[in-house]
């Protein structure tokens, strides 16, 4: 899904520093597995035994890509994107292994509540600006307006329906109102895959684990030393010292995701254009927010809202959080003060979890 170099890396800190600490804090039985997936890497540490669950993890991630990866040629999402008929429907049978329907429904809910700041139909604009699978096109107001006619995650543009026959599920249908509507779930799929990985370990009875994929993660319980998981967030700067962090926190049983505007961009005539595109204007966002880290109950939510807040900017994000306290979202935002210096905005719930912070 996401490519690691373009997003803020969330670093997992060592649980203890030396053998003396290990003696004071015995290491409980645990195992760490790692691998490659979604154009990046994953690391999972689980506590309780040393059983090997790598096959189950890798198998799930392969199936996930077959559903939702734009880089897998015949994935389900690519088949749907290529489907350009409005007089009939695209159908598939959900054998309880498909991830597409769940991501579609969660995305529709977040699209509605963010008033379109999070919008999976932004794909035509992503391609136009050169942040997708294609090279940058001829970007001007005419081409932007042309792409915008296919953007909007409303039912009249694209909808998903379950067809029943005699009261029993028969198939899932995708209906398009316009042939050029295409989906890009990259701003939520990685987070949702982490939630599904957590489901594997929950189903197998694990009470303590940390799952990290491409810098996004979810924690539960305690680390192998019987202490809270401790996470560090990189500074939103290029060529930084890897020993310097923006913040260190203990997230508890929460998920964390970061979206940043400073790494994935290109310059035209000295002006930077970042990968985060406003679905309403059709242009990359142009404000002082460099990164948004979101703490949420699920990694899918953290992932999607981090993107939405990057699109909204500081004022829009503050208004949204004030109007939606029931969502339980906490944020750590790094922004340019206007003179090249960095400042942070930290929600009260996030601040209580910080171990240290450079603000």
CA terminus-to-terminus distance, the chain: 31
CATH of the domain at 243: 3.10.520.10
Instruction: Look at 310 and 14; give whichever has higher pLDDT.
Output: 310
pLDDT-above-90 percentage for the chain: 71
Which residues neighbour 206 within 8 Å (Cβ) at sequence distance 6 or greater?
A: 46, 47, 48, 220
DSSP 8-state assignment for residue 14: P
**Is pLDDT of 3 > 50?**
no
DSSP 8-state assignment for residue 157: T
**Is pLDDT of 272 > 70?**
no
Total of domains in the chain: 1
The pLDDT tens digits of the residues spanning 341-353 come to 889 999 999 999 9
In a domain? residue 340: yes
pTM: 0.90
DSSP 8-state assignment for residue 83: -
The pLDDT tens digits of the residues spanning 215-227 come to 999 999 999 999 9
Mean pLDDT (the chain, rounded):
87
- Mark residue 179 as left, alpha or beta (left: phi above 0; alpha: psi -120 to 50; beta: remaining): alpha
Structure confidence at residue 27 as a pLDDT band (50, 70, 90):
confident
The pLDDT tens digits of the residues spanning 150-192 come to 999 999 999 999 999 898 999 999 999 999 999 999 999 999 9
Q: Where are the alpha helices (DSSP H) in the chain?
A: 19-24, 54-68, 76-82, 100-113, 123-128, 141-148, 189-203, 299-323, 348-351
**Is pLDDT of 53 > 70?**
yes
In a domain? residue 11: yes
In a domain? residue 266: no
Chain centroid to CA 104: 14
E-state strands within the chain: 10-12, 30-37, 40-47, 90-92, 158-165, 168-176, 208-213, 216-220, 231-234, 245-249, 255-260, 265-268, 271-274, 289-296, 330-336, 342-346, 354-357
In a domain? residue 324: yes
In a domain? residue 316: yes
Residue owning tokens 């009875």: 205
In a domain? residue 121: no
Range of the domain at 233: 4-61+190-260+286-357
Which residues neighbour 185 within 8 Å (Cβ) at sequence distance 6 or greater?
A: 1, 68, 77, 103, 107, 120
Q: What is the pLDDT of residue 287?
A: 83
Kind of pairing between the strands at 289-296 and 330-336: antiparallel
For the record, the structure tokens of 329 come out as: 């979202």
In a domain? residue 94: no
**Is pLDDT of 38 > 70?**
yes
In a domain? residue 30: yes
Q: What is the pLDDT of residue 245?
A: 77
**Is pLDDT of 243 > 90?**
no
DSSP 8-state assignment for residue 338: S
């Amino acid at each position: 899904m996401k490519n690691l170099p373009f997003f803020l890396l969330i670093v997992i800190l060592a649980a203890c520093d030396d053998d003396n600490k290990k003696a004071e804090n015995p290491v409980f039985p645990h195992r760490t597995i790692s691998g490659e997936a979604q154009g990046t890497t994953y690391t999972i540490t689980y506590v309780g035994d040393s059983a090997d669950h790598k096959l189950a993890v890798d198998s799930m991630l392969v199936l996930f890509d077959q559903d939702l990866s734009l880089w897998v040629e015949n994935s389900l999402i690519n088949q749907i994107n290529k489907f350009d008929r409005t007089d009939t429907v695209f159908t598939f049978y959900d054998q309880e292994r498909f991830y597409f329907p769940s991501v579609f429904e969660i995305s529709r809910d977040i699209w509605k509540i963010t008033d379109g700041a999070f919008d999976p139909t932004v794909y035509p604009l992503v391609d136009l600006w050169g942040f997708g699978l294609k090279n940058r096109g001829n970007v001007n107001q005419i081409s932007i307006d042309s792409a915008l006619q296919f953007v909007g995650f409303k039912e009249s543009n694209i909808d998903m329906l379950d067809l029943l026959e005699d009261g029993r599920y028969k198939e899932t249908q995708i209906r398009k109102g316009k042939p050029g509507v295409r989906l890009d779930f990259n701003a939520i799929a990685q987070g949702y895959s982490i939630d599904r990985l957590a489901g594997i370990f929950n189903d197998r009875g694990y009470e303590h684990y940390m799952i990290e994929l491409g810098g996004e993660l979810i924690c539960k319980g305690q680390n192998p030393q019987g202490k809270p998981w401790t996470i560090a967030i990189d500074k939103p700067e290029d060529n930084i010292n890897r020993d310097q962090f923006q913040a260190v926190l203990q997230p508890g049983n929460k998920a964390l995701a970061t979206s940043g505007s400073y790494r994935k961009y290109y310059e035209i005539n000295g002006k930077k254009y970042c990968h985060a595109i406003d679905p309403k204007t059709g242009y990359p966002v142009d404000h002082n927010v460099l990164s948004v880290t979101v703490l949420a109950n699920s990694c899918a939510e953290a992932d999607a809202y981090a993107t939405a807040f990057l699109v909204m900017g500081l004022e829009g994000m503050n208004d949204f959080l004030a109007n939606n306290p029931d969502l339980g979202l906490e944020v750590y935002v790094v922004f340019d003060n206007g003179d090249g210096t960095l400042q942070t905005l930290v929600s009260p719930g996030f601040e209580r979890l910080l171990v240290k912070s450079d603000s």
